[in-house]
Structure 1
Amino acid sequence: MATNWSGFVRNFHDFFKQQQQQDQPEPLIKSYFKRGLNNVKQTPTMKYLPTYRLESKKPVNKETVEKMMEKVITKSFEDFQYESKAAQKLAKSVSEELKYKFKTFEFDRFRVISIVTIGEKFYQGMESMCSFLWDPNADGFVNFTYETPQYFVIATLYYIYYD
């Protein structure tokens, strides 16, 4: 198996000489690929082909997504006591759960980005900014904040139309 381009050319040249000596009728390229490049990973096929549709058949309903976010976050953080290592793991798992629940609604042709931030209230300020280039008619976000005396949780779910 060739590791670089020059090795590939050298292997193909050697194979070509063998084919001429053996005088086999099978096509050169086809047999070479059968022999040496059958382990190449194929790229996944697109789920949707471009239809150039500008509107979704089933658009995002912000109210249902907001209720879903509220249920998931309040359930996940009911008995949580702030600890930095546990907060990292919980933020990741809640973010994945929010994405999964969003996908179960089966909104038509939307990609989703979920960001969950957990911070300890320790007399500090916090500023966060996010910037996207998107279509304001089709794309959007849903935000939910959960606060206790010890910590705060900010969950944001961005949905982007995929045509």
Structure 2
Amino acid sequence: MASAAKNWSGLVTLCLGQEREKRQVSSQRTSLTKSNGAGALGVPSKPIIQYLPSYRMEPRNPLNKERLELTMRTIMNRNYNEDYLFHPRQSYHLAAQVSEEIKNSIKLMNFDRYRYIVLVTVGELLMQGLCSMVNFLWDAEKDGFVTYSIKTPKFIAVCTVFYLYYD
């Protein structure tokens, strides 16, 4: 046990000694580079530029709710018109395509710092009711939603776009 402690203390001493040598060599190198720098040649060294914090709280291109609603309305009316017939499987795929198309067209408007959730719901009208509820924790000033619905005697289509401000 005494030999293990002796070996251990010898190892610690060896490591500390190597660390001390590394610090001395690096300090010698930095002193050499400082003395041989641009200041020694008579050329003034570059001043260090310090910038102020530039954190913006508002977007450069804020969301325009009217443009968003117009885009959503145009795409919905083009896909869910009088010629549309409800079929469960086809309606599922069409709703996915319409929501993706709306999301992509909104992204092309380049509203700065917003994330979007596009929800398209389509159902056949057969004397039933529909109740839907969504809860979010959001900033009441910057976040919001736009909704548009088409109701005919055969079907109902509802599109909701949630826009969430993202810092």
**Shorter-chain-normalised TM-score: which range?**
0.5 to 0.7
Task: Tell me what 1:72 maps to.
Answer: 75
Deviation at 1:101, TM superposition (A): 0.6
Q: 2:133 aligns with which of 129, 133, 136?
A: 129
* 1:20-39 paired onto structure 2 within 5 Å: none
Unaligned runs of 5+ in 1: 1-50
Give 1:91's aligned amino acid: A
CA distance in 1, matches of 2:162, 2:111: 13
CA distance in 1, matches of 2:103, 2:55: 25
Task: Tell me what 2:5 maps to.
Answer: none
CA distance in 2, matches of 1:157, 1:99: 8
Structure 1 residue runs of 4 or more that deviate by more than 2 Å after TM superposition: 51-54
* 1:35-114 paired onto structure 2 within 5 Å: 52-78=55-81, 79-114=83-118
Q: Identity rate of aligned residues, in percent?
A: 41
Give 2:92's aligned amino acid: Q
CA distance in 1, matches of 2:114, 2:55: 14
Deviation at 1:138, TM superposition (A): 0.8
| Equivalent residues of 1:55, 1:138 under 8 A apart | no
Unaligned runs of 5+ in 2: 1-53
CA distance in 2, matches of 1:92, 1:150: 20
Q: What RMSD, in angstroms, separates the aligned Cα atoms of the two structures?
A: 1.1
State the TM-score, normalized to the length of structure 1. Answer: 0.67
CA distance in 1, matches of 2:56, 2:123: 41
State the TM-score, normalized to the length of structure 2. Answer: 0.65
Helix, strand or coil for the counterpart of 1:114? strand
Deviation at 1:77, TM superposition (A): 1.4
Give 1:137's aligned amino acid: E
Deviation at 1:56, TM superposition (A): 1.4
Helix, strand or coil for the counterpart of 2:123? strand
Q: 2:160 aligns with which of 124, 137, 156?
A: 156
State the aligned residue count: 113
Task: Tell me what 1:39 maps to.
Answer: none
Q: Which has the higher helix share?
A: 2
Larger Cα-atom Rg: 2
